[in-house]
Amino acid sequence: MAKSMTKTIPSKTGKLLEVREFVASEARAFGFSDEDISKIALAVDEACTNIIRHAYQNDPNRAISITIQKKRDRFEVSIVDDGKKFDPAVLKPLNLKEHLTQYRRGGLGVYLMKTLMDKVEYNTLGDKKNEVRLTKFLHPVRARQ
Amino acid sequence: MSDFKVNHRDGEGFSVLELKGYLDAHTAPDLETTFQKLLTDKKYNIIVNCKDLTYISSAGLGVFMAYIEDVRKNRGDIKLTNMSPKVYNVFDLLGFPVLYEIYRDEHEAANKFRQQSKKG
């Protein structure tokens, strides 16, 4: 049976540390290695940072809710906001070398999330809220077979 | 309690920034302020010692991106040292080792600045 828990924070960067600790502690309890725990916490940080900066445009009085669902073989983190919709299609696939040599800072968070997690999905929920859903499999090789 | 600290000290011909704690979107502005001050003071040879840096996100990496161009235009450089494997891994995922010189310790980075200043 899937177990889920939710944490809701105001849209402030000062809350990122608390979010990382929440996610890391649940990922640890689920059985991930230290390396995977770091990856998941960083991916969730990147998602929340993007929401604060872009969806809420640095308005600190909005809410972000982070729900962790532990399923048999996977750990899912759903991050929900009701700010400006993010359309991942507008971001061209990132050519990392070209991006860096032009000293461009944007888009790195999205690239990192994709690299760190097994799945990154963007959904619009029924109440027009935005969801980014990050998934990591406990045993990626077996899970993909 | 502070989650992040930058300590600045000057060596002979270079400045050293020692980073401590968590460098994320919340604390990145502190590092930006330090870089701005170095540039205002025309200190372009910068060593960033990451020995006590426990965490970095893309917001933190973005600070290095924001200043490297100006620093190099002024014939200086940002050289990074003493990274933990965890922090190095994030730099590596984003391809930073291609763009930035990363050294085992401060001494190596300082030697490199000395060699470069002799050549220059």
φ/ψ of residue A85, rounded to 5: -70, 140
A26 is written with which tokens?
């649940």
Tell me if chain B has a CB within 8 Å of the CB of A54. no
Tell me if chain B has a CB within 8 Å of the CB of A103. yes
Q: What is the pLDDT of residues A74-133, one digit of tens each?
A: 999 999 999 998 877 776 666 776 766 666 666 789 999 999 999 999 999 988 899 999
CA atoms within 13 A on the CB side of B110: 13
pLDDT of residue A84: 92
Rounded to 5°, the CA angle A132-A138-A140 comes to 90
Tell me if chain B has a CB within 8 Å of the CB of A70. no
Average pLDDT (B81-92) is 96
Cβ pair A112:B99 closer than 8 A: no
Contact yes or no for B68/A103 (Cβ under 8 A): yes
Sheet with B45-56, edge to edge strand ranges: B4-10, B15-23, B45-56, B77-81, B101-103
Min Cα separation A42/chain B (Å): 7
Cβ pair B58:A112 closer than 8 A: yes
Q: Domain boundaries in chain A?
A: 3-138
CATH class of domain segment(s) B4-114:
alpha beta
Q: pLDDT confidence of A145, banded at 50, 70, 90?
A: very low
Q: What is the pLDDT of residues B47-82, one digit of tens each?
A: 999 999 999 999 999 999 999 999 999 999 999 999
Q: What is the CATH number of domain A3-138?
A: 3.30.565.10
Tell me if chain B has a CB within 8 Å of the CB of A98. no
Q: Which amino acid is at A93?
A: P
> In the block, which residue shows the tokens 């972000």?
A64
- Cα gap B84→A45, rounded to integer Å: 20
